[in-house]
Amino acid sequence: MFSKEKVEQFKTIPTPFYYYDLNVLESTLAEITKEAGTYGFDVHYALKANSNNEILELISKHGLGTDCVSGNEILKALDTGFTSDDIVFAGVGKTDEEINIGLEHDIFCFNCESLPEIEVINELAQQKGKVANIALRINPNVNANTHHYITTGLEENKFGINIWELEEVINALESFENLNLVGLHFHIGSQITDLTVFKSLCVRVNEIQEWFYDRNIIVEHVNVGGGLGVDYENPDENLIADFKAYFKVFNDFLELKPTQKVHFELGRAVVAQCGSLITKVIYVKKGVNTNFVIVDAGMTELLRPALYQALHKIEPLTFVSDNINRYDVVGPICESSDCFGKSLMLPELERNNIIAIRTTGAYGEVMANNYNLRRNAATYYEKEMIK
């Protein structure tokens, strides 16, 4: 994946740093717009996955909308070329200040997660003399078969409105004059690699829609969320997720009225593969059963392994020899969970060798923190390698 020249260039840059290949992002976006375009689907980029300006500007140029989860994300989206009429705003805990930001900018839709939230949006819209578009985020109770920290569509999760609460919500909506129910919203989890899970979601959405049709409610928009997974083990073989198969599932299994439009909120599958965290070996330390490769990136730069036991491919870009050794690759942070991989079979490494931690474009830099008073890693982009 990395050319010799690129590795030479990496050697001259202080580590750790995030490196983004905007060509990969561009190809991914081209594939998304082509495949979603086939069916007239509307894709909103889930800004939480990566909110760097360069990345956002490229995504907005390709005509995607955004899925925001905070007032600041809405402002960032507007600053980087997205239009407010394509912004959806989700989140279980929208504050008054954030709702007002959405109202002031006339965003496309608030994805609402509870009756108390709906009441507040109505009140704030009333104060501004506006009518807010809302979608009900409904908990479809579909199991995403992914890590429990990133499963969101089950009744036990904090997200969404449960089916048995719908009657109450629909009745309440009749008295809210400053709200316009335009959609239904679903999101069941993230890093979903088994497409049959999305088929189950479609079947469930059809059932829920029937419930609404029985009450003579046909919403204009059906938002099925995000969640498409990427290949963390073999990034080079699957640099671009199978968007063709993904969108086809929804086309084949969602039963819609002719006037209804389908929306998606994709984060990870858009940006994960364009990013790598480049780090340097500080020490190789002998252990009892394995040797430790201690690198200068840690859970401060990439939290996913520590938080979700996530595996990112560890790719040595320079090494001493092809002799394969068993290593635990760990960071410098004072936590045992600061580990990028255990018992990895890697070529022989020594101090100053360079390693790429792959598939870190999504939920990498955005989740970084300054624990141990660490400074933020720098960011470089392919093309001009500008900071």
Interface residue list for ligand LLP (CB under 6 A): 46, 49, 67, 90, 150, 152, 187, 190-191, 225-228, 265-269, 304, 308, 363
* Shortest distance, position 147 Cβ to ligand LLP, whole Å: 7
Pick between residue 68 and residue 132 the one whose CB is nearest to ligand LLP: 68
C-beta of 67 vs 231, nearer to ligand LLP? 67
Instruction: Please say which residue, 147 or 199, places its beta carbon nearer to ligand LLP.
Output: 147
Q: Which is nearer to ligand LLP, 262 or 349 (CB)?
A: 262
Q: Least Å distance between CB 269 and ligand LLP?
A: 6
Least spacing, CB of residue 120 vs ligand LLP, in Å = 19
Regarding beta strands 132-137 and 179-185, do their DSSP bridges make them parallel or antiparallel, or are they unpaired?
parallel
Residues 6+ apart with CB under 8 A from 107: 68, 74, 84, 85, 87, 88, 89, 133
In the complex, what is the shortest distance from the CB of residue 219 to ligand LLP, in angstroms, rounded to a whole number?
17
We find the least distance from the C-beta atom of residue 128 to ligand LLP, in angstroms, to be: 25
Closest CB to ligand LLP among residues 92, 115: 92
Closest Cα to residue 18, out of 359, 260, 290? 359
Q: What is the DSSP string of 211-261?
A: HHHHTT---SEEE----B---SS-TTTTSS--HHHHHHHHHHH----TT-E
Shortest distance, CB of residue 47 to ligand LLP, whole angstroms? 9
Asked if 283 and 372 count as a contact pair (C-beta separation under 8 A), the reply is: no
Q: Are 101 and 74 in contact (CB under 8 A)?
A: yes
Cβ 368 to ligand LLP shortest distance, Å = 12
Kindly give the pairing relationship between strand 275-286 and strand 314-316. Answer: unpaired
3-class secondary structure, 110: strand
Nearest to ligand LLP of 102, 267 (CB atom): 267
Cα 2 from Cα 11, distance rounded (Å): 13
Nearer Cβ to ligand LLP (208/354): 208
User: 């491919």: which residue's tokens?
Assistant: 313
Displacement of CA 245 from its chain's centroid (Å): 19
Separation CA 307–CA 12 (nearest Å): 31
